Amino acid sequence: MKKLYDTIVVGGGHAGSEAAYISSKMGGKTLLITMNLQNIAQMSCNPAMGGVAKGQIIREIDALGGRSAFVSDLSAVQFKMLNRSKGPAMWSPRAQSDRMLFSAVWRKELEKQKNLDFCQAMVSDLLIDNNKISGVVTSIGTNFYAKTVILTNGTFLNGLIHIGEKNYGGGRTCEQASFGITKSLERVGFSSGRMKTGTPPRVDGRSLDFSIMEPQPGDTNPEKFSFSDDTRPLKKQLDCFLTYTNKISHDILRSGFDRSPMFNGSIKSIGPRYCPSIEDKINRFAEKDRHQIFVEPEGWDSIEYYINGFSTSLPEEIQVKALKKIKGFKNAKVIRPGYAVEYDYFPPTQLKKSMETKIVPGLFFAGQINGTTGYEEAAAQGLMAGINANLHVNCKEPIVLSRSDAYIGVLIDDLVTKGTEEPYRMFTSRAEFRTLLRQDNADLRLSEKAHSLGLIGSKRINKLISKKRAIDKLLSFYKKTSISPKESKSLLEEKGSPNLKQSQKISKLYSRPNIFFKDLLKATKISDFINLEKFDKEVISQAEIQIKYSGYIEKELKNVEKINRLENLRIPSGFDFNSLKSISNEAKEKLIQISPTTLAQASRISGVSPSDISSILVKIGR
């Protein structure tokens, strides 16, 4: 029991799994403590990974050596690339998962780590000596000691579950809440708040009539998440289905509003804006006659279906009655009712960008404890907390991703700089450099950094180097090789695009919005100049994107340079913001609270104006 660990990870959800995996992979002696070892990496809500902006995060986790993409590939039942009709900055991979298999694969991956120990227990207190973390205490009084601790408690901190007028302690259905940690943290100066999330009912698929729903199949030629060669795309897939609520089901749902914890005052905390409950949707958008319902399988061999779009905490009998009025649900049998859960979180402005807390050195937070929602956001935070906890133990500088490096950088910067008063969800619109932060180039952006830290091996990095060379070779070919008006005439006429008046470089023709690689093959014998068999699909696609969007990419790179000038202007440690007489009281309060380390971070704080930044510049001698 007195063994000293490098890192203790509290909680075995998506954040905890990534944190424990990467910490032990980096050689740190790691202990994962969770209340139920059978529920490691549980998909508490929807059985899926990825989606808009979230898919980009999963690819970034993979590029940095994390395991969520790998596990998703091995447990997927369907794969889709969303937003194909838009530009590549919006393309977002999403995998429907086998819920049980996902958890099983994650546990197997964790159990392979030689430096990782496991313990099933509830952590109820923290050991803090001389204002530094030194370990944790379980509910039965056992002490575990460590140089760093990562808290990834999800929805369990003082969790309270609501179904209609009934409520009871719990972090997930049939799982007890966790008590003690909030008080322990508040005792040393942390401030906390309450948030809410919810989940829909699960229904027996044998009781549904899928024949009158709209099938939602996966991609014809599905891709996968991981950049490694250790996984393969799906050869067979399961369908999801689409149906809709209607006026009758809305009326039934409204009949239960007086017993809804959302409306009777039982729930006082704020829920996720972009994933509202069904009662919230029909209340806020009363003019709508229907709302989409996606019926999603929970696994290859499971009869359970997840009713996406019907998250609710209404009384169970109201849930069932309303569901039965939805097309295809006439004989629906509910296996588990929907519910809402309230839980404690800690405003993330109390963190450094390394995910380490400002108040207690060596203590890191990751996941919903920071006010985020979503598996992907949690996993990303867990990964970065695990990496930086290991670096902290070894007295090395933390790794901080910038907003131009990754969506993960945007996520953490938003949390630490702006904070959040409602469950934070990532969107492509939150990233000002989203043309650079595409899902297709996550490995090109991040894997060399990961290799320098020992997070990915030589096999992966050699593959990346070969890929880069192939892309450069193909780009060089496009830029150097010309195409004549005669060769391109029939293609351009077919596309309704102006003919060439003289020979032009292929890259110039290729940059036209309606000309794609398959069109170039028709227009010219590229194979006479270059052996295309040497280039895989990823390389060809990457070269195409870089050619077609070169103008946008160059513009964003220039903007990154401008921002980096401010990022490089550091605010001295201990800078006295009270000494600034010309800035507003609001700006002063927020600057003191957040303690930004650079001018760029200070400029992103809500309430801090450009004139305030100028005042800081003058004060530090710029």
Residues above pLDDT 70, as percent of the chain: 98
Range with lowest mean pLDDT among 63-72, 77-86, 150-159, 260-269: 260-269
Report DSSP letters for 364-400, one per residue. Answer: EE-SGGGTB-SHHHHHHHHHHHHHHHHHHHTT-PPP-
What confidence tier does 489 reach under pLDDT thresholds 50, 70, 90?
Answer: confident
State what percent of residues in the chain have pLDDT above 90. Answer: 75
DSSP string covering 74-136? HHEEEEEEETTTS-TTT-EEEEEE-HHHHHHHHHHHHHT-TTEEEEE--EEEEEEETTEEEEE
Average pLDDT of span 119-130: 96
pLDDT at 287: 93
> What's the chain's Rg over C-alpha atoms?
26
Query: Is residue 92 over pLDDT 60?
Result: yes
Residue 593 pLDDT = 87
Q: Which of 56-65, 100-109, 153-162, 586-595 has the lowest mean pLDDT?
A: 586-595
Mean residue pLDDT of the chain comes to: 93
Residue 111 confidence class, pLDDT cut points 50, 70, 90: very high
Q: Is the pLDDT of residue 622 over 70?
A: no
Asked whether residue 327 carries a pLDDT value surpassing 70, the answer given is: yes
d(CA 354, CA 393): 13
Instruction: Answer yes or no: is pLDDT of 527 > 80.
Output: no
The one-character DSSP state at 207 is G
Q: What is the pLDDT of residues 193-210, one digit of tens each?
A: 999 999 999 999 999 999
Q: Give the pLDDT confidence score for residue 403 in this predicted structure.
A: 92
Q: Is the pLDDT of residue 530 over 80?
A: no
Pick the residue with more confidence: 554 or 174? 554
Rounded to whole angstroms, the Cα distance separating 412 from 384 reads 9
Q: Determine the Cα–Cα distance for residues 75 and 106; give it in Å rounded to an integer.
A: 10
C-beta of residue 540 within 8 angstroms of C-beta of residue 576: no
pLDDT at position 617 over 90: no
Confidence band for 179, pLDDT divided at 50, 70 and 90: very high
In the prediction, which pLDDT does 388 show? 98
Stretch 540-549: mean pLDDT: 92
Mean pLDDT across the stretch 521-530? 68
Q: How far apart are CA 506 and CA 479, in angstroms?
A: 6
User: What's the confidence (pLDDT) of residue 1?
Assistant: 55
C-alpha distance from residue 164 to each of 248, 261, 317 (Å) = 20, 6, 9
Task: Give the model's confidence band at 268: pLDDT under 50 very low, under 70 low, under 90 confident, else very high.
Answer: confident
pTM: 0.93
Helix (H) or strand (E) segment spanning residue 517: helix 517-523
- For residue 440 the two structure tokens come to 């297709």
Give the model's confidence band at 496: pLDDT under 50 very low, under 70 low, under 90 confident, else very high: confident
Q: What is the mean pLDDT of residues 250-267?
A: 92
Phi, psi of 529 (to 5 degrees): -105, -30
Q: Residue 488: which pLDDT band, with cuts at 50, 70 and 90?
A: confident
- Residue 562: the pLDDT is 84
Name the band, by pLDDT with cuts 50, 70 and 90, for residue 580.
confident
Find the mean pLDDT for residues 106-119: 98
Q: What is the mean pLDDT of residues 359-383?
A: 97
* Cα angle for residues 207, 211, 216 (degrees, 5° grid): 100
* Digit-coded pLDDT (tens) for 289-315: 999 999 999 999 999 999 999 999 999
Question: Burial letters for 156-167: b for 16+ Cβ neighbours within 10 Å, e otherwise?
Answer: bbbbbbbbbeeb
d(CA 119, CA 355): 24
Task: Summarize pLDDT for 432-485 with one digit per residue, the tens.
Answer: 899 999 999 999 999 999 999 999 999 999 999 999 999 999 899 889 888 888
Q: What angle do CA 43, 47, 50 make, to 5 degrees?
A: 100
Q: Are 594 and 407 in contact (CB under 8 A)?
A: no
Q: How confident is the model at residue 529, as a pLDDT?
A: 62
The span from the first CA to the last CA of the chain, in angstroms, equals 54
Decide if pLDDT at 81 tops 80.
Answer: yes
Q: Which of the four pLDDT bands, split at 50, 70 and 90, describes residue 533?
A: low
CB atoms within 10 A of CB 501: 7
Residue 227 pLDDT > 90: yes
pLDDT confidence of 528, banded at 50, 70, 90? low
Sign of CA pseudo-dihedral 341, 346, 352, 355? negative
Mean pLDDT of 537-552: 92
